[in-house]
Amino acid sequence: MAEAIAIGNLTRRFGPLVAVNGVSFTVAPGEIFGLVGPDGAGKTTIMRMLAGVLSPHAGTILLDGIDVVAAPERAKPHLSYMPQRFGLYEDLTVAENIRFYAELFGVPRKERIARGAELLEAAALGPFRRRLAGNLSGGMKQKLGLICALIHTPRVLLLDEPTTGVDPVSRREFWAILYDLREQGVTILLSTAYMDEAERCTRLALLHAGEIRSCDTPQRLKQAMPGALLAVPAADPRAVRAALGGVPGVLGLLLMGDRVHVRVDDAARAAPLLAARLAGPNIAHGEIARVEPGIEDVFVALVGDATKAEAA
Amino acid sequence: MFGRLGVMLMKEFIELKRDRWAMFRLIVPLLVQLFAFGYAATFTVTRVSTVILDLDQSQASRALISHFTATGIFDIVDVATDQRQITRDLNQGTATLAIVIHARFAANLANGKEAPLQVIVDGTNSNTALIALGYVSQIVALFQEDEAAHLLPASAGASAAPGTLTLSLQYQPWFNAGLSDRWFFIPGIIGTLILVQIVGLTAFAVVREREVGTLEQILVSPISSFEFILGKTVPFFLIGLADVALISIVGILWFGVPFVGNPFLMLLGSSLFLLSVLGLGLLLSTFSQTQQQAFALNFFLLNPFFILSGFAFPIAAMPRILQWFTYLNPLRYFLVVIRALFLKGVGFWTLFPDFAAMFLLGTGALAISMMRFSKSLD
């Protein structure tokens, strides 16, 4: 049983909509595996099926060798699932919430106290033990959710967009906890719509419309991206994007804040062509330079023009 | 280790304790409704606004009118001088009842002919109208008796018709000697208020966990549906029992309704009723994704439960189909139990069928809820 998570050909429909379509991947113990994709790609549906609260229409799920589809209750003590909005009881204090979730999973008192203190420390929530969960900030709530999800020392942790709406400081603390867990051998599967967060994962599955488009380490995904990437900084990047539409050799255009990422078949050949095209209508721009692609570039390259248009 | 059920209960009670309005919401509406119902829910007609048109203006007609006024029930609001005035009074609602004593009333009475007396009643509220008419006929009968007593000696008293038998009915109501309808209503109100409160509380509490997202969290834990449902319902069971005790005591002490039954049977009956009511609330929650849906369903169900319970309208008088529906209504059985225990003081075996029915309804609803509440979000 080498894999912590092994799912095969997983399919789930909601009426006529196929939310997850024949998805397969495996996650090794101690990995931080990321599911990346836009809203509606099927991330939450996969998470819920893994957590055993939604049954798939086809496919297999093995968690540490336990068949989740056949015996969801057997898998539950070993896993932890943190939905986008963790269900905290807002009328209960931080400590009471932790105790509640510890008891639900049958954590012995001693262990609860020791582990609770350790997790509170790591999340910098120690001083807020007696505060009502409802009075915490968004980031603190999310960290408390993580503590509640971790109090029973799960072997597999499922996190559905855990840092959405969390401030940068809390987010860094959150990731510090995740790295610690990884050291302890906990397998983490998380979904995210943040590309910078995706880069922190050991491996990624790029998900679009219920299907996996690509699955590999962030490094190899970037290397495997067809073509090369040129960045065109400009005061009016929208004008740049509009102008570069039909240039030969351009495979894709992506607006990235104050610049446009241009995916081309050959960087050396395309760069002068781009400069020439922009010179015509006299669009001001900075130096056109080759850059390393980010996950977002890879994702857009894989998924194609349809989402690129939407993203714009 | 405290156990999963224990920690569910602890959580519920902490939440209840932290909810500053909880005590207010749990007690004040009950008491307000008990007092409102206790004073307002009555069929007794104690005052009938009456208009009188005396076209005879005789000693006999005045004697009849004084018979009416002497009761204290008929409040003469207007003395009319013609028929149109009566029509106007009835139309405007100034008067509910009109008494018209036609000309030749006294003469005909003396001659033993039909004395023309006309009574017009506003039938809008048929119940009040019937009761008022009942009073009228009693008074007229009394008047006839008195008149006969006056007249007969004058006609030498000899001609008492042979073979005339005067029947006099004597009423002796059991269990509620004064036929006070407050005694009838207060126990019913207790059952009705408990139904409304506990069904709502239970349904909303479960649906709220669904809305807030805590339910999803609980589903992924190893807690069983049984433990979860028990943890959610035990607090409301205890609240329900406390409510029954509270409003029963107010009913007994404030409204003076007697309680002649066995308190332990009352505890048993209330427990079984609460079981069925909690089951109903849970069932409702399994059909609702949001509190709004639960509210709408609750609203949709409670009125029929109220009407088809025998609270105010006798079940025996309902069409057969509606009578069948009443068998599914826990309130129907509890009203029998609570009225019997308050007023009649019957024993266990008399109430056994009602106990059994509530038990079956309760366990049935709980079983269906538990099946529907399978630990999944499908």
Q: Please tell me whether residues A241 and A199 are part of one structural domain.
A: no
**If we measure between CA atoms, which residue out of B49, B155, B61 comes closest to residue B95?**
B49
Taking CB atoms and an 8 Å cutoff, what residues of chain A touch B208? none
Best A54, A104, A135 residue to mutate vs chain B (most B CBs within 10 Å): A104
Contacts 24+ apart (CB under 8 A), B9-15: B9/B231, B9/B234, B9/B235, B10/A100, B11/A89, B11/A92, B11/A96, B11/A100, B11/B231, B12/B231, B12/B232, B12/B234, B12/B235, B13/B235, B14/A91, B14/A92, B14/A96, B15/A89, B15/A91, B15/A92
For A163-230, the DSSP string reads: TTT--HHHHHHHHHHHHHHHHTT-EEEEEES-HHHHTTSSEEEEEETTEEEEEE-HHHHHHTSSSEEE
Q: Please tell me whether residues A253 and A166 are part of one structural domain.
A: no
Q: How far is CA B247 from CA B39, B250, B257, B354, in A?
A: 14, 5, 12, 22
Boundary (domain end) residue, out of A193, A215, A237: A215
| pLDDT single digits (tens) A30-88 | 999 999 988 888 999 999 999 988 889 999 999 988 999 998 888 888 889 988 877 88
Instruction: Read off the CATH number of the domain in which A45 is found.
Output: 3.40.50.300
Whether residue A133 lies inside any domain: the answer is yes
Q: Please tell me whether residues A124 and A45 are part of one structural domain.
A: yes
Q: Please tell me whether residues A233 and A210 are part of one structural domain.
A: no
CATH (residue range B48-152): 3.40.1710.10
Q: Please tell me whether residues A278 and A166 are part of one structural domain.
A: no
Q: Please tell me whether residues A182 and A245 are part of one structural domain.
A: no
pLDDT score, position B375: 61
Whether residue A298 lies inside any domain: the answer is no
Residues of A engaging B, defined by a Cβ cutoff of 8 Å: 48, 51-55, 72-73, 76-77, 79-81, 83, 85-92, 96, 99-101, 103-106, 108-109, 132, 148
**Residues A288, A271 contacting (CB under 8 angstroms):** yes
Q: Please tell me whether residues A206 and A232 are part of one structural domain.
A: no
For B292-330, the DSSP string reads: HHHHHHHHHHHHHHHHTTTSSS-GGGS-HHHHHHHTT-H
At residue B156 the predicted structure's pLDDT band, cuts being 50, 70 and 90, is: very low
Q: Please tell me whether residues A238 and A263 are part of one structural domain.
A: yes
Phi, psi (5° rounding) for residue A159?
A: -120, 120
| pLDDT single digits (tens) B279-297 | 999 999 888 888 889 889 8
Q: Please tell me whether residues A135 and A43 are part of one structural domain.
A: yes
Whether residue B162 is predicted with pLDDT greater than 60 in this model: the reply is no
Q: How far is CA A36 from CA A193, A194, B231, B336, in A?
A: 6, 8, 38, 63
Whether residue A220 lies inside any domain: the answer is no
Whether residue A267 lies inside any domain: the answer is yes
Q: Please tell me whether residues A120 and A255 are part of one structural domain.
A: no
How close A106 comes to chain B (CA, Å)? 7
At residue B346 the predicted structure's pLDDT band, cuts being 50, 70 and 90, is: confident
Give dist(CA A85, CA A42) in Å, integer.
17
Taking CB atoms and an 8 Å cutoff, what residues of chain B touch A103? 1-4, 6-7
| pLDDT single digits (tens) A221-260 | 888 888 888 898 888 888 888 888 888 888 888 888 888 8
Whether residue A112 lies inside any domain: the answer is yes
Whether residue A297 lies inside any domain: the answer is no
Whether residue A2 is predicted with pLDDT greater than 80 in this model: the reply is no
Whether residue B168 is predicted with pLDDT greater than 80 in this model: the reply is no
Top-confidence residue, B52 or A138: B52
Whether residue A301 lies inside any domain: the answer is no
Structural domain span for residue A281: 226-292
Instruction: Read off the CATH number of the domain in which A250 is found.
Output: 3.30.70.980
pLDDT score, position B154: 47
- Average pLDDT of every residue of chain B: 84
Q: Please tell me whether residues A125 and A273 are part of one structural domain.
A: no
Give dist(CA B39, CA B30) in Å, integer.
14
Q: Which residue matches tokens 């809203």?
A: A39
The total domain count for chain A is 2
pTM, two decimal places: 0.77
Task: Parse chain B into domains and list their residue ranges.
Answer: 4-41+178-372, 48-152
Taking CB atoms and an 8 Å cutoff, what residues of chain B touch A48? 377
Q: Please tell me whether residues A117 and A80 are part of one structural domain.
A: yes
How close A90 comes to chain B (CA, Å)? 9
Whether residue A68 lies inside any domain: the answer is yes
Q: Based on the number of CB atoms within 10 Å of its own CB, is A69 exposed (0-12), middle (13-18) or buried (19 or more)? A: middle
Which residue in the set B14, B375, B377 is minimally distant from A48, CB to CB?
B377
Task: Provide the 8-state DSSP code for A117.
Answer: H
Residues of B engaging A, defined by a Cβ cutoff of 8 Å: 1-4, 6-7, 10-11, 14-15, 18-19, 209, 212-223, 375-378
Boundary (domain end) residue, out of A153, A184, A215: A215
